[in-house]
Amino acid sequence: MTAPPRPGPGLRVRLPQVAPSMREFLATEAGGAVLLLLAAVAALIWANSPWSGSYDRFWSTTAELRLGDAGFNMTLHHWVNDGAMAIFFAVVGLEISREFTTGELRDRRTIAVPALGAIGGLALPAVIYFVCNRSGPESSGWGIPMSTDTAFVIGILALFGPRCPDRLRLFLLTLAIVDDIGAITVVGIFYTDHLNLVGLAVAVATVLAILALRWLRVWQLPPYILASIVLWGAIHVSGVHATLAGVLVGLLVPAVPPRPDQVEEVPIYVRALQEDSNATRVGLTVAAAKATVPANDRLQRVLHPISAFVVVPVFGLANAGVHLDGSALRTASTSSVTLGVAAALIVGNTCGITAASLIAIRTGLGQLPGQVRYGHLLGAATLAGIGFTISLFITELAFTDESLRDQAKIGILAGSLLAALAGTVILRILGERMPLCSPLTDEPVPRLPPRPWRAPVPAK
């Protein structure tokens, strides 16, 4: 009897993976999302408890930072929004700079799909909101639904584990980065009331000083940190929102790889240390090793955990406390602000990102490799409707009326919750059941194994 043939080799296709630095970034974002969610829930409970008055009183407490005759006197709420959030935006700027310099965003075809998707996710939500609120003070809130909350989106994707392709996470993070650039531009241009030319001149001079540090290849962090503090104060005085300082610092801190001679010097110092271990040689060895790591990476390693685990949760605690009594909910249910924000978040992002991404893929402008399917793309576009952190941030800038702020916040909470639920359902049901966005055409056609062996049927 003839032995059945052995099965042929299995299919082996090389799939693009996410860089280790990107994995670390995503892991921190996912962990921070849990704290942000807990902080938002705590704020809602506090603001609707018998002690709700203490919530407003606490965040209205003033705190002063003074050096001689100069100083800043703001409420705790403004210290969080104008001060601490600069750290969050600095991390955003650092990640943008690193990805464009040495990361995944160097490839035009890789960035094309999420970049065009982000443009669709910026434009359509703003249009939907503006259609719902064409006039009056409500119309100034068009920038609220334009942003995607990276922490929440990455946190939800983490629940899918290996079933979610790494490239989908990269797509969403790239989309969020481009989206943040758009949102920051909107804040800087459209939500600035007045300008102080002296403060603006000092800010420009500080930016030039940071550029000089880059040109001189200064790798130590203290000069950049000192310049960042001066830049924050100058921009705050200028009238432009102070968080722009964080973005500028993140973009300007060097992310370029070290020179070959810097890397070659490290073993020399190590050998000298092995021959004679003393404090001087230890310091020189540590300094030589640090010089081989870009200042961008070292600053991001310091700031990112602070941003994810401290700044963003505190921001959620300070801004998510909406009074949800019967009167507020009835007003919100018929409010054009609430309905406009919620519809713009879930419908605008889903349709805008999906349509723009499909245009990029179909026209050949870009590709979405790595086993990402159209079901994944649709689910990710829906998840991008979670617009918590920056949406709440822009709400504080867009409206001075507390009732309009509360209506917008209810719309943000409702729209983000619906986007999270809908995106999760789409990923679970359609994620693996639709065609690949960009089939791997550059791989050799694999040899398929033979069909299962069957014993011959004896002739009758």
- List per-residue pLDDT tens for the chain, 460 residues long: 444 444 444 434 344 455 555 555 555 566 677 788 888 889 989 988 888 889 889 998 998 888 777 778 888 988 988 888 889 888 888 887 887 787 766 777 778 888 899 999 999 999 999 999 988 888 899 999 988 887 778 777 766 655 677 778 778 877 887 887 788 788 777 877 677 888 889 999 999 999 999 888 888 889 999 999 999 999 888 877 777 888 889 889 988 777 666 666 777 777 777 777 777 777 777 777 777 778 888 898 889 889 888 988 898 898 888 888 778 788 888 899 999 999 999 999 999 999 999 998 888 888 776 678 888 889 889 999 988 878 888 898 888 888 899 899 999 999 999 998 999 888 888 877 776 776 654 444 444 444 454 555 555 5
pLDDT confidence of residue 20: 55
pLDDT confidence of residue 445: 43
Taking the model in full, what pTM does it have?
Answer: 0.72
Alpha-helical regions (H) of 134-165: 150-158
Do the Cβ atoms of 267 and 110 come closer than 8 Å?
A: no
Of the candidates 245, 148, 167, the residue with the CA atom closest to the CA atom of residue 202: 245
Give the HSE-up count for residue 162: Cα atoms under 13 Å, Cβ half-sphere: 0
Q: Which residue has the tokens 């409206």?
A: 399
Do the Cβ atoms of 311 and 106 come closer than 8 Å?
A: no
- Residues 437, 443, 444: CA angle, nearest 5 degrees: 135
State the total domains in the chain. 2
Do the Cβ atoms of 399 and 137 come closer than 8 Å?
A: yes
Same domain, 81 and 184: yes
Same domain, 373 and 252: yes
Same domain, 287 and 396: no
For residue 3, is it within any domain? Answer: no
Same domain, 184 and 63: yes
Of the candidates 393, 74, 84, 397, the residue with the CA atom closest to the CA atom of residue 237: 74
Which residues, other chains included, contact 460 with Cβ-Cβ below 8 Å and sequence gap of 6+?
none
The C-alpha atoms of residue 113 and residue 370 are separated, in whole angstroms, by 14
Same domain, 302 and 363: yes
Same domain, 113 and 153: yes
For residue 265, is it within any domain? Answer: yes
- Dump the DSSP string for 315-382: HHHHH------HHHHHHHHT-HHHHHHHHIIIIIHHHHHHHHHHHHHHTTS----SS-BHHHHHHHHH
Same domain, 142 and 184: yes
For residue 120, is it within any domain? Answer: yes
Which residues, other chains included, contact 134 with Cβ-Cβ below 8 Å and sequence gap of 6+?
none
Q: Indicate which CATH number applies to the domain containing 52.
A: 1.20.1530.10
Same domain, 404 and 345: yes
Same domain, 44 and 157: yes
For residue 210, is it within any domain? Answer: no
What 3-state DSSP class applies to 47?
helix
For residue 443, is it within any domain? Answer: no
pLDDT confidence of residue 27: 55
- Residues 249, 254, 260: CA angle, nearest 5 degrees: 170
Same domain, 328 and 184: yes
Do the Cβ atoms of 85 and 315 come closer than 8 Å?
A: yes
Same domain, 248 and 285: no
For residue 403, is it within any domain? Answer: yes
Same domain, 249 and 377: yes
Tokens coding 33: 């999302």
Q: Which residue has the tokens 């705790």?
A: 76
Full residue range of the structural domain in which residue 249 is found: 20-192+241-257+298-430
For residue 278, is it within any domain? Answer: yes
The C-alpha atoms of residue 125 and residue 351 are separated, in whole angstroms, by 9
CA distances from 20 to 24, 25, 27, 104, 159 (A): 6, 9, 10, 12, 19
Tokens coding 242: 């102070």
Do the Cβ atoms of 98 and 296 come closer than 8 Å?
A: yes
The C-alpha atoms of residue 243 and residue 450 are separated, in whole angstroms, by 62
For residue 198, is it within any domain? Answer: no
